[in-house]
Amino acid sequence: MPPRLVLASASPFRKALLENAGLAFDVESARIDERVIEQTLDGLTAEDVATVLAEAKAQDVSDRNPGALVIGSDQTLSLGGEIFHKPADMEEARRRLLQLSGRTHALNSAVALVRDGETIWRHVSVARMTMRELDPGFIGRHLSNVGSPALSSVGAYQFEGEGLQLFDRFEGDYFTIIGLPMLPLLAKLRELQAIDG
């Protein structure tokens, strides 16, 4: 019998990706302080930070769900060696978009599978996102239009929504951009016989 799957995330976008793929799973948010964990990660790459946080979320939820296969995920945004977090308010979102304007940044999406406290697998995928030159007035109008959802993503945009208008091009897959590398995850779940395949 396949193990029970649990998504260790409050993200409606990650939940929708798994639902759209036809997976049966439960959802339980991790109870960790990501910023506290990050303070111990000086010197790690943005990819490694995302991986450590994905694993920490899965480990936390695994502790409360014996026998379940827990999916943890995290995404970081990196630009010129700096790692960014979700903006705290609309002013920070405005500054973030000004900083990303006309430049290429990386979205680093990590996923980890944990069962009974043991990490079975981890993976990180990277998408390179090139934002067009944005007029400051347009940024203000855009943020006013999209509202608080801009604060739910590290880049202050939702690529699956109006944020698409901010870009010239991207390299990588859609699922990595949304925050969960689905194809590698599904392949691993099939290998583990956790889903039909």
> What's the rounded Cα separation, in Å, for the pair 81 and 83?
7
Is the separation of the CB atoms in 57 and 73 below 8 Å? yes
Annotated catalytic residue within 74, 89, 168, 196: 74
Token representation of residue 110:
């990590």
| Residue 48 bears catalytic tag | no
> What's the rounded Cα separation, in Å, for the pair 58 and 77?
20
Query: What SS3 state is found at 135?
Result: coil
> What's the rounded Cα separation, in Å, for the pair 172 and 195?
25
> What's the rounded Cα separation, in Å, for the pair 108 and 127?
7
Residue 125: closest CA among 190, 43, 187, 42 = 187
Q: Which residues are catalytic?
A: 74
